[in-house]
A and B are shown apart, each in its own frame.
Chain A
């Protein structure tokens, strides 16, 4: 089947198309440059056309999500929708059910979402949920930052073996890249402890976060993985943590990039949570200036924001000691899950409120980051879903970015606490994003950071992952019409995934199975076998499951998109 989306206003930053009136054509699931006269015409006259969205960091599938759903029926009851002729029933607000997750991303015009934390031992669970999510393609990042084998290799600075271990473990778990969460800290949580800063040794392991990050980054580059290390640094949410954040970015400046498909050697996630100055919650204030300065000067760094949306949400992270602190702070029910040899994790419901000074300043810090990082290719749209807010709030965040008027209103009308004025510079930032920048932070840049060459843009041969929004970029004034912006980005006029029309006028009209993107490194099989000879005795001794049953077989990957990488090339 051939299609032509006619007369839309196209924003495609990858191909340097900035608001051109243009047709977008696709055939057999791919973008093409011409179609026959039989092509079905989809009229988009003067409407906003972009590639489908790419979410670089979201928690949507896996054991943490399920614990959230199990223990928060009060959240599941929000967002209940009956089944329709095309869709299954939906449930959940901050932790939607799998079907709801797929539908809601489609309604926003998204096509790809990275699951940001997969514990290898429970990778099968993550993949079962990926299969249960419709419509979107999902790569999952495997957790390596507190893995016992990583800690050993990092202590010995054994980059070569660590690289082989990563390559093997990505095959075992069908993972896409290397996720690092509070390096050393989540292992320390095995004893109810944490590490602070980069040089605090991990109890019993005689290794520091600095060494873990550096060794993993080196290994990542020696393999030439399509994504860089993906770092949730130490000290999340602590006043004064910006120094640790700067230190974490700085410590890998000597590592050279070894991949043509991306620009960065480190991706810093939910940077908002790591841009705090002050020494305690009283003198807590924004540290966004130092962080953004560093990023502006160093193009080897990309980040996503983790924007606070001021909602009641569910926080969940492999940074388990942080979650326990959060529980001590807000007294809400605490879930925790420690996973043998690999990681820990925690979950706590959280009510972010504009009446609270700290939450409001956190909100402001996220926006400051968006506005103070100059190059939109270095900063990406996320809410660290569901930590800072559910992903269905992206349209709202977009409206804030495009409208200084709205931001000022929120500050002046008391929708956020007045501390925002004293503790951040948000009120002084009048930058407003244009559609090209929005397209960059929500599709082009994330695709680039992950080395996805087949999506995030509308060039010939790209997947036909397309979104049309019911706004006329040449007529609308986003600064004043922020409500229209929010509404349009939340209800795509058209969402196409691999050439299939999924959404029309904000409604799901068809569904498709999700696909799992994973990275298969080739060329170092011998090295892997050598490493496995040393890994296996340890595995057999300390895991409680047999290696054969630890593997994620083909059975769990229904529609794989296997990205083959020649190690080191």
Chain B
């Protein structure tokens, strides 16, 4: 890495800003502001800093509507909002997908709109930690806030997650390195374990790397549980790991004082899907008979957990909530976005702060090319290519304030540091406008009957 000169040319510092990238929700960033732009970011990792610094790269700046030739052309806000409202009001099976990179305040208007038109509201959990949530519903949810890990944990396990790359400050801020109340020497007071088929950057930072076989996670966890319960393992090697190593590891986990397991999509999305998480949760429960253990899913987006929490307190279910019958329904495999799209049910699709174009399977995206798609986002992306109406939003935590929930459920108020580009609007404003306009159309319809 080349040496970079510190940035000295700025007008103003804004402290305690929150990073709107990963589920670490680091809230200690300092933005260096010059001429209304963030010219430097302190404390953030490269992922977070580049998202903030390059906010104008491929930025969506004006509302657009796709014309008859199939090109997105600039339009004014009124026209774009009216057109979008008309589509939503006329839809039979609308789906509002995304939400994980916007604020709770925006979701509040989204759910009103969803209830009004009988939409399905779903977020990225449907393609990431959805199986983890299913496992939580099967087996339980023993978690802790990240400060518990920092202050108490002397053993930390990363399973199916490469924190060093996906959540770069996780180890530094919350787990391996910080000096905690009961772990005054920080890293020296802790044992770090990585359970992952790959020898990742996180594994390189760890004291122990358990490189079990691809898709061997369930069997491996099962073996750990068996050993913990005093059973003798019959095979010498399990999922590629010698049984002596498993026994040694379990002994260490059992005799540690406070253990913390962080798992990622590498555990959630292997062959056994939610069953891998079931058994990880069961393992944590078993370990608590001997000592203290908790786990935390490494949530990706900074507000993916927030949407699940928000939907749960508003309607009782975490994601994939279908209002088409006038009451909330949540049925995995039925009311989730991918299933709906592959069954070609939706007739209007609104995507907010997400990129299905980049992340959905082909079959699902194929249906998106056949129906009207409304996009609310700040950057041009594959989903823009699918969109028929584009509504440029603003950047939460930089240009607009709002609430998010960290991976461990800690709520954070993300403040605003600079003004948004003049032609953009806040997500919250856009969704509220849509709600009001749809309400008006629906009202007129009832009046004309």
Residues of chain A within 8 A of B411, CB atoms compared = 122, 124-125, 128
Residues of chain A within 8 A of B403, CB atoms compared = 124, 128
Residues of chain B within 8 A of A82, CB atoms compared = 325-327
Residues of chain B within 8 A of A337, CB atoms compared = 141, 143-145, 409
Max chain B CB contacts within 10 Å: which of A70, A73, A82, A83? Answer: A70
Check if A327 is an interface residue, CB within 8 A of chain B.
Answer: yes
Q: Which of A85-93, A265-273, A352-360 contacts B (4 or more CB under 8 A)?
A: A85-93
Check if B405 is an interface residue, CB within 8 A of chain A.
Answer: yes
Bound together, the chains give a CA A92 to CA B316 distance in angstroms of 7
Q: Are B313 and A338 in contact (CB under 8 A)?
A: no
Q: Which of A440-448, A460-468, A537-545 contacts B (4 or more CB under 8 A)?
A: A537-545
For window 242-262 of B, CB contacts with A under 8 Å fall at 257-258
Interface string of A83-118 (1 = CB under 8 A from B): 100001111100111111000000000000000000
Interface string of B385-406 (1 = CB under 8 A from A): 0000000000000000101010
**Shortest beta-carbon distance from B307 to chain A in Å:** 11
Count chain A residues whose beta carbon lies closer than 8 angstroms to a beta carbon of B.
64
Q: Are B285 and A338 in contact (CB under 8 A)?
A: no
Q: Are A336 and B313 in contact (CB under 8 A)?
A: no
**Shortest beta-carbon distance from A440 to chain B in Å:** 33
Of the residues B18, B140, B179, B327, contact of A71 by C-beta under 8 Å? B140
Bound together, the chains give a CA A65 to CA B290 distance in angstroms of 28
Residues of chain A within 8 A of B309, CB atoms compared = 66, 70, 125
**Shortest beta-carbon distance from A539 to chain B in Å:** 11
Residues of chain B within 8 A of A546, CB atoms compared = 16, 27-28
Check if B205 is an interface residue, CB within 8 A of chain A.
Answer: no
Of the residues A333, A336, A543, A549, contact of B18 by C-beta under 8 Å? A549
Max chain A CB contacts within 10 Å: which of B310, B316, B327? Answer: B316
Residues of chain B within 8 A of A336, CB atoms compared = 140-144, 294
Check if B208 is an interface residue, CB within 8 A of chain A.
Answer: no
Residues of chain A within 8 A of B16, CB atoms compared = 546, 548-549
Residues of chain B within 8 A of A204, CB atoms compared = 182
Residues of chain B within 8 A of A192, CB atoms compared = 288, 290-292
Q: Which of B148-156, B268-276, B347-355, B429-437 contacts A (4 or more CB under 8 A)?
A: B148-156
Residues of chain A within 8 A of B291, CB atoms compared = 191-192
Check if B71 is an interface residue, CB within 8 A of chain A.
Answer: no
Of the residues A65, A125, A190, A333, contact of B405 by C-beta under 8 Å? A125
Q: Are B326 and A97 in contact (CB under 8 A)?
A: no
Q: Are B292 and A334 in contact (CB under 8 A)?
A: no
Residues of chain A within 8 A of B285, CB atoms compared = 327, 334
Residues of chain A within 8 A of B139, CB atoms compared = 333
Bound together, the chains give a CA A548 to CA B15 distance in angstroms of 9
Check if A42 is an interface residue, CB within 8 A of chain B.
Answer: no
**Shortest beta-carbon distance from A121 to chain B in Å:** 6
Q: Are B313 and A83 in contact (CB under 8 A)?
A: no
Q: Are B330 and A333 in contact (CB under 8 A)?
A: no
For window 508-544 of A, CB contacts with B under 8 Å fall at 541-544
**Shortest beta-carbon distance from A314 to chain B in Å:** 12
Q: Are B314 and A132 in contact (CB under 8 A)?
A: yes
Check if B128 is an interface residue, CB within 8 A of chain A.
Answer: no
CB closest residue in chain B, given A553: B413
CB closest residue in chain A, given B25: A545
Residues of chain A within 8 A of B288, CB atoms compared = 192, 324
For window 329-348 of B, CB contacts with A under 8 Å fall at 330
For window 397-449 of B, CB contacts with A under 8 Å fall at 401, 403, 405, 409-413
Check if A150 is an interface residue, CB within 8 A of chain B.
Answer: no
Q: Are B313 and A544 in contact (CB under 8 A)?
A: no
Q: Are A89 and B323 in contact (CB under 8 A)?
A: yes
Check if A341 is an interface residue, CB within 8 A of chain B.
Answer: yes
For window 287-319 of B, CB contacts with A under 8 Å fall at 288-292, 294, 308-310, 312-318
Of the residues B174, B308, B313, contact of A97 by C-beta under 8 Å? B313
Decide yes or no: A190 and B328 within 8 Å by CB, A88-B115, A89-B323 being known contacts.
no
Check if A505 is an interface residue, CB within 8 A of chain B.
Answer: no
Decide yes or no: A340 and B151 within 8 Å by CB, A70-B133, A70-B136, A549-B412 being known contacts.
yes
Q: Are B142 and A335 in contact (CB under 8 A)?
A: yes
Q: Are B294 and A338 in contact (CB under 8 A)?
A: yes
Bound together, the chains give a CA A205 to CA B15 distance in angstroms of 34
Check if A491 is an interface residue, CB within 8 A of chain B.
Answer: no
Of the residues A71, A189, A340, contact of B146 by C-beta under 8 Å? A340
Bound together, the chains give a CA A99 to CA B314 distance in angstroms of 7
**Shortest beta-carbon distance from B50 to chain A in Å:** 22
Q: Are A544 and B316 in contact (CB under 8 A)?
A: no
**Shortest beta-carbon distance from A164 to chain B in Å:** 22
**Shortest beta-carbon distance from B128 to chain A in Å:** 15
Residues of chain A within 8 A of B151, CB atoms compared = 340-341, 542
**Shortest beta-carbon distance from B445 to chain A in Å:** 16
CB closest residue in chain A, given B291: A192
Check if A67 is an interface residue, CB within 8 A of chain B.
Answer: yes
Q: Are B173 and A544 in contact (CB under 8 A)?
A: yes
Check if B147 is an interface residue, CB within 8 A of chain A.
Answer: yes
Bound together, the chains give a CA A214 to CA B280 distance in angstroms of 42
Check if A487 is an interface residue, CB within 8 A of chain B.
Answer: no
Residues of chain A within 8 A of B104, CB atoms compared = 128
CB closest residue in chain A, given B318: A70
For window 62-85 of A, CB contacts with B under 8 Å fall at 63, 65-67, 69-73, 75-76, 80-83
Check if A555 is an interface residue, CB within 8 A of chain B.
Answer: yes
Check if A137 is an interface residue, CB within 8 A of chain B.
Answer: no
Residues of chain B within 8 A of A338, CB atoms compared = 143-145, 148, 294
**Shortest beta-carbon distance from B306 to chain A in Å:** 10
Q: Are A89 and B326 in contact (CB under 8 A)?
A: yes
Q: Are A132 and B144 in contact (CB under 8 A)?
A: no
Check if A129 is an interface residue, CB within 8 A of chain B.
Answer: yes
Bound together, the chains give a CA A327 to CA B15 distance in angstroms of 44
Decide yes or no: A91 and B318 within 8 Å by CB, A70-B136, A336-B143 being known contacts.
no
Of the residues B148, B181, B327, contact of A80 by C-beta under 8 Å? B327
Of the residues B150, B316, B326, B413, contact of A83 by C-beta under 8 Å? B326
Q: Are A335 and B313 in contact (CB under 8 A)?
A: no
For window 298-349 of A, CB contacts with B under 8 Å fall at 324, 327-328, 333-341, 347
Q: Are B313 and A89 in contact (CB under 8 A)?
A: no
Interface string of B19-44 (1 = CB under 8 A from A): 00000000110000000000000000
Bound together, the chains give a CA A125 to CA B305 distance in angstroms of 13
Bound together, the chains give a CA A96 to CA B410 distance in angstroms of 22
Residues of chain B within 8 A of A334, CB atoms compared = 140-142, 285
Q: Are B143 and A129 in contact (CB under 8 A)?
A: no
Residues of chain A within 8 A of B136, CB atoms compared = 70-71, 335
Residues of chain B within 8 A of A99, CB atoms compared = 314
Decide yes or no: A97 and B148 within 8 Å by CB, A89-B323, A190-B258, A549-B27 being known contacts.
no
Bound together, the chains give a CA A542 to CA B147 distance in angstroms of 7
Interface string of B355-383 (1 = CB under 8 A from A): 00000000000000000000000000000
**Shortest beta-carbon distance from B215 to chain A in Å:** 26
Residues of chain B within 8 A of A63, CB atoms compared = 409
CB closest residue in chain B, given A348: B140
**Shortest beta-carbon distance from A206 to chain B in Å:** 14
Bound together, the chains give a CA A148 to CA B138 distance in angstroms of 34
CB closest residue in chain A, given B414: A549
Q: Are A132 and B258 in contact (CB under 8 A)?
A: no
For window 156-209 of B, CB contacts with A under 8 Å fall at 173-174, 179-182
Bound together, the chains give a CA A91 to CA B285 distance in angstroms of 29
CB closest residue in chain B, given A328: B289
Q: Are B413 and A555 in contact (CB under 8 A)?
A: yes
Q: Are A132 and B409 in contact (CB under 8 A)?
A: no
Q: List 27 A-B contacts (CB under 8 A).
A: A69-B312, A69-B313, A69-B318, A70-B136, A72-B137, A73-B137, A76-B330, A83-B115, A83-B326, A91-B316, A91-B328, A97-B312, A121-B147, A124-B403, A124-B412, A189-B292, A190-B148, A191-B258, A335-B141, A336-B294, A337-B409, A340-B147, A541-B181, A542-B181, A544-B410, A546-B16, A546-B27
Beyond A69-B313, A190-B292, list 6 extra A-B contacts (CB 8 Å): A69-B312, A70-B318, A89-B327, A121-B145, A190-B258, A335-B142
